[in-house]
Amino acid sequence: MNQADEFLAVFFGPGNLVLPDLNFEGEVGRRLTPYLEPLRQGTKTPLVLPRRTREITDAYVICWDRHQATSLRAILEAFVAHSYVAFDGRPRRLDPADPVEGAVLRLVGPDTAYVLRPPGPAHAASMWRALDLMRILIAGRPERVSAVPRPLGRMLSEFHAALAAGNAAGSADLLDELAGAGLSAVNLAYLRVHRLSRLGRDAELLALPQLGDVVASGPPQLVRDGILAAWGRLQLLDLPMSDPDLVKKAADAILRDTRGIVALARTPLATLSDDALAAVTLVALGRDDRDLARSLASLPDLPNELRSQLPKLTGAPLVETAKPTVPRVRLAPTAPASWVDWVFEVADFTADDVDWTAWPAPVESDAFLAEALEGVKDAEADQAWNLVGPFLEADDMRRPAWRTAKALLVLAASYDRWAPNDVATVQALLEVFLRGAPPADEYREILDMLAENAGRWAVVGNTLPALDMVDDVARSPVSDVDARLRFALAALEPFSRHRRRLSTDLRWLGEQLSVELSAPLAWDVPEPLTDTGEEIPNVIGAKVLIYSLDDGVLQRSADRLAQLFPRVTVNRAHDRVGTPQLRAHARGADVIGLATRCAKHAATGFIRDHASEGAVIIEADGAGSASLIRAVASGLAEMGPPFT
**Contacts to other proteins by CB under 8 A:** 179, 184-186, 188-189, 210, 212-218
Nearer to other proteins, 69 or 193 (CB): 193
Decide whether 65 or 442 has the Cβ nearer to other proteins.
65
Provide the 8-state DSSP code for 46. Answer: P
Closest separation in Å from C-beta 178 to other proteins: 12
Return d(Cα 250, Cα 590) in angstroms, integer: 30
- The residue among 264 and 603 lying less far from other proteins, judged by its C-beta, is 264
| Sign of the CA dihedral running 243, 246, 250, 252 | positive
CB environment 25-60: b (16+ within 10 A), e (fewer)? eeeebeebeebbebbeeeeebbbbbbbebeebbbbb
Strands 569-573 and 591-594: unpaired
CB neighbourhood size of 318 (10 A): 13
Residue 42 CB, nearest distance to other proteins (Å)?
17
Q: Identify which of residues 222 and 489 has a Cβ nearer to other proteins in the complex.
A: 222
Q: List, in sequence order, every residue forming a beta bridge with 263; answer none if it has no partner.
A: none
CB of 217 to other proteins, least distance (A): 4
Q: Which is nearer to other proteins, 83 or 187 (CB)?
A: 187
CA distances from 51 to 11, 34, 59, 97 (A): 8, 16, 6, 16
Supply the minimum distance, in Å, between the C-beta of residue 106 and other proteins: 9
- Contact (Cβ atoms closer than 8 angstroms) between residue 179 and residue 201: no
Cβ contact 345:321 at 8 Å: no
Question: If phi over 0 gives left and psi between -120 and 50 gives alpha, with beta otherwise, what is residue 54?
Answer: left
CB of 213 to other proteins, least distance (A): 4
Q: Report, in Å, the least distance between residue 595 CB and other proteins.
A: 32
Q: Which is nearer to other proteins, 212 or 528 (CB)?
A: 212
Minimum CB distance to other proteins, residue 435 (Å): 41
Nearest CB to other proteins, comparing residues 153 and 220: 220
Contact predicate 294/311, CB 8 Å? no
Nearer to other proteins, 186 or 329 (CB): 186
DSSP states along 318-359: P---PPPSS-S-PPPTTS--SHHHHHHTTTT--TTT--GGGS
Smallest distance, other proteins to C-beta of residue 550, A: 37
Residues in a beta bridge with 50 = 59
Q: From the CB of 158, what's the least distance to other proteins, in Å?
A: 21
Distance, CA of 345 to CA of 95 (rounded, Å)? 49
CA 366 – CA 396 distance, rounded (Å): 12
Which of 569, 567, 568, 575 is CA-nearest to residue 547? 575
Quote the least distance from Cβ 107 to other proteins, whole Å.
12
Q: Which amino acid is at 491?
A: A
Comparing CB distances to other proteins, the nearer of 33 and 217 is: 217
Q: How far apart are CA 295 and CA 269, in angstroms?
A: 8
Q: Pick the closer one to other proteins by CB: 193 or 592.
A: 193
Position 326, amino acid: V
- 58 DSSP β-pair partners: 51
What is the closest distance, in whole angstroms, from the C-beta atom of residue 179 to other proteins in the complex?
Answer: 8
Sort residue 167 into left (φ over 0), alpha (ψ -120 to 50) or beta. Answer: beta
User: What's the min distance (Å) between Cβ of 349 and other proteins?
Assistant: 24
Q: Report the residue number, 259 or 574, with the smaller CB distance to other proteins.
A: 259
Nearer of residues 216 and 440 to other proteins, judged by Cβ: 216
How far is residue 48's CA from residue 135's CA, in Å, rounded to a whole number? 7
Task: Give the integer Cα–Cα distance in Å for 346 and 357.
Answer: 17
